[in-house]
Chains A and B, each alone.
Chain A
Amino acid sequence: DTGVSQDPRHKITKRGQNVTFRCDPISEHNRLYWYRQTLGQGPEFLTYFQNEAQLEKSRLLSDRFSAERPKGSFSTLEIQRTEQGDSAMYLCASSLWGSPDTQYFGPGTRLTVL
């Protein structure tokens, strides 16, 4: 399978704990995006990388959120001091530089904060 992969698929944590998610994009894609989706809503943009550079961050991305893509391949999204409001599906997508808006999504990580 050469699509976007995400790990873990599900994460249950207690309020106040830190969590980290991983995304592996399609191998030739140099753009990588993180979105958040809550029930009944469309995905909401969080942040975006071109290669290893983080080029855009949404105001939804509070100080407790940090994302990295150190070698321009996989990316991690960390949430510190989780809150119940962080419960959501976290989706990763990737695209080619020449077609940035044709984004292919991974299966997502469903986070539940108790």
Chain B
Amino acid sequence: GQQVMQIPQYQHVQEGEDFTTYCNSSTTLSNIQWYKQRPGGHPVFLIQLVKSGEVKKQKRLTFQFGEAKKNSSLHITATQTTDVGTYFCAGSKGFYGGSQGNLIFGKGTKLSVKP
């Protein structure tokens, strides 16, 4: 079945350092979503990427969707302690791929930031 792999599993950084997490799908995706889950919290929607090669920015966060629509990345510039949490990518095959909104989540990258 469809799988979404995410690396690294854990990342420990010093405050101010950059952070990147990578997401790879075994099949072509219609779109990809990114979520952040704080410790003890629930996944919070960050962004959706739809177009091949798309790049979107949210302040210090940069999201990319690969040309083949099989991979994605999230880059955080100059991390802050408020960035702590687990970042999940979630792919969809879309309506024409037979998806009704069944998101396939990666296992997430847990980010810790040392002040």
A31 touches B107 (CB 8 A): no
Contacts of A40 in B (CB 8 A): 107
Q: How many residues of A contact B (CB 8 A)?
A: 25
Known contacts A41-B107, A106-B42, A107-B42: A48-B102 contact under CB 8 Å: yes
Q: Is B85 located at the chain interface by the 8 A CB criterion?
A: no
A100 touches B100 (CB 8 A): yes
Contacts of B6 in A (CB 8 A): 42
Known contacts A31-B101, A33-B101, A48-B100: A101-B43 contact under CB 8 Å: no
Q: Is A95 located at the chain interface by the 8 A CB criterion?
A: yes
B103 touches A101 (CB 8 A): yes
Contact of B108 among A42, A56, A101, A108 (CB under 8 A): A42
- Mark out the residues of chain A between 77 and 114 whose CB falls within 8 Å of any chain B CB in the assembled complex: 91, 95, 99-108
Q: Is A45 located at the chain interface by the 8 A CB criterion?
A: yes
Contacts of B65 in A (CB 8 A): none
Contacts of A44 in B (CB 8 A): 105
Contacts of A16 in B (CB 8 A): none
Q: Say how far A101's CB is from chain B's closest CB, in angstroms.
A: 4
Known contacts A42-B90, A43-B43, A91-B43: A103-B103 contact under CB 8 Å: yes
